[in-house]
Amino acid sequence: MSDTIFTVNSPCSRPSIAPYCERVRQMVTPRRFEHIVRVAILAEAIARANEFSRDELRATCLAAILHDVARDLPPAEMLALAPPRTELEREHPLSVHGRAGRRLVEQWGISDKRVLDAIEGHVFGVSHNNRIGMAVYIADVSEPGRGVNDEIRELAMHNLFRAYQRALDAKVRYLQANGKAVHPVTLRVHQEICDHT
Ligand SMILES: [Fe+2]
C-alpha cells in the first residue's frame, strides 16, 4: 500500500478522521482503500475550492472516507444491512452498498444526516441542495485513479453544481444508450437537476 495515504495531504492525517480511516482500512481491499483515500483527498480539494465552511469540510472528508465502507462486505452481510428494494437492486446486489454503508456507520454512532446522505447517495445520486453529497459523488467518479472524467474534476473546482450535473447526466445517458435500467433515485435526482437548471 502506498505510504502517501497518511501524509499531511490526506484527510487521514486529521485526528478527527484518522480513527475512521483505520476502521475502513480493515474492512476493504488495499486497492479499494487507495481509491477511498484518493476520493477523500479530491473531495476535500473540491470542498475548499467551493468555499465550504470548516464544518462542511470535515463532514465532506468523513463521508468520503466512509463512502465505500460496505463495498467489500460478503454479499449476505451487505444484503442483511440493505435488503434490495427494487428489481434493479435485486439484479445488481452490489448496488445496495451505499445504503449498506449508511446503515453500518449509523451502527458506529454517526448521525450527521449530511454524511449519511452522502454515503448512500454516492451510488445513485443526491439532491442538488446537498453540497457535501455532490462533492463526494464527483470525487468518486473523477478521482485520478479512474482515468476518466478529468474535465468533470476540473469543472468541480469552480462550479460544483455544473460538474455534478455533467456527471449525473453522463451516467444517465450512458445507461440509456446501452439499454440498461436507470435506478428510480437516479432518475428522480436527474430530473430534479434538469428542472433546477
Ligand atoms: Fe461505491
Summarize pLDDT for 160-180 with one digit per residue, the tens.
999 999 999 999 999 999 999
Model pLDDT for residues 103-155, shown as the tens digit of each residue: 999 999 999 999 999 999 999 999 988 999 999 999 999 999 888 889 999 99
CATH number at residue 49: 1.10.3210.10
In the chain the first and final C-alpha atoms are separated, in Å, by 42
| H or E stretch at 163 | helix 160-177
- Residue 160's domain comprises 3-196
134 vs 191: CA distance, rounded Å: 15
And the C-alpha cell for 149?
472524467
Contacting residues for 113 by C-beta, under 8 A, at least 6 apart: none
* Residues 191, 170 contacting (CB under 8 angstroms): no
Whether the per-residue pLDDT at 1 is higher than 80: the answer is no
* Residues 82, 123 contacting (CB under 8 angstroms): no
Q: How far is the CA of 36 from the centre of ligand 1 (A)?
A: 9
Total domain count for the chain? Answer: 1
Confidence of residue 7 (pLDDT cuts 50, 70, 90): low
Q: How far is the CA of 8 from the centre of ligand 1 (A)?
A: 25
Q: How far is the CA of 56 from the centre of ligand 1 (A)?
A: 21
Q: How far is the CA of 74 from the centre of ligand 1 (A)?
A: 15
Q: How far is the CA of 159 from the centre of ligand 1 (A)?
A: 23
36 vs 61: CA distance, rounded Å: 10
Helix (H, G, I), strand (E, B) or coil at 173: helix
And the C-alpha cell for 158?
469552480
Q: How far is the CA of 137 from the centre of ligand 1 (A)?
A: 9
Q: How far is the CA of 175 from the centre of ligand 1 (A)?
A: 17
Q: How far is the CA of 70 from the centre of ligand 1 (A)?
A: 8
Q: How far is the CA of 125 from the centre of ligand 1 (A)?
A: 11
Vertex 29, ends 19 and 55: CA angle to 5°?
A: 35
